[in-house]
Amino acid sequence: MIRRKEWKEILTVTVLVFLSLVYGMDYFLQLHLLPDPKALVYKVFPLGQEYRDFFNLRY
């Protein structure tokens, strides 16, 4: 994957793994330093609805 220079894919996976580890450590140690991920989902949900309606997506 690195030889084909798919750096965007590598960067995306690295960021997601890093965020997962950081949130997991925050939860395990009960530090509560990071924001609740549900708050982000509730803020982004209307944008997802607009996207779905615009492209007529069915699930």
Domain presence at residue 23: yes
Q: How many domains, in total, are found in the chain?
A: 1
Residue 23 structural domain: 7-54
SS3 for 5? coil
SS3 for 46? helix
Give Dmax over CA atoms of the chain in angstroms: 43
- What would the mean pLDDT of 2-26 be, rounded to a whole number? 88
- The whole-number pLDDT of residue 41 equals 84
- What would the mean pLDDT of 10-19 be, rounded to a whole number? 93
Instruction: Return the H-helix or E-strand segment holding 17.
Output: helix 7-28
Domain presence at residue 2: no
Q: Compare 33 and 3 and report the one with higher pLDDT.
A: 33
Q: Compare 41 and 5 and report the one with higher pLDDT.
A: 41
Chain-wide mean pLDDT for the chain?
87
Give residue 34's identity as a one-letter amino acid code: L
Cβ atoms 34, 22 nearer than 8 A: yes
Domain presence at residue 59: no
Read off the pLDDT of residues 15-35 as tens digits, 9 standing for 90 and up: 999 999 999 999 999 999 998
Domain presence at residue 24: yes
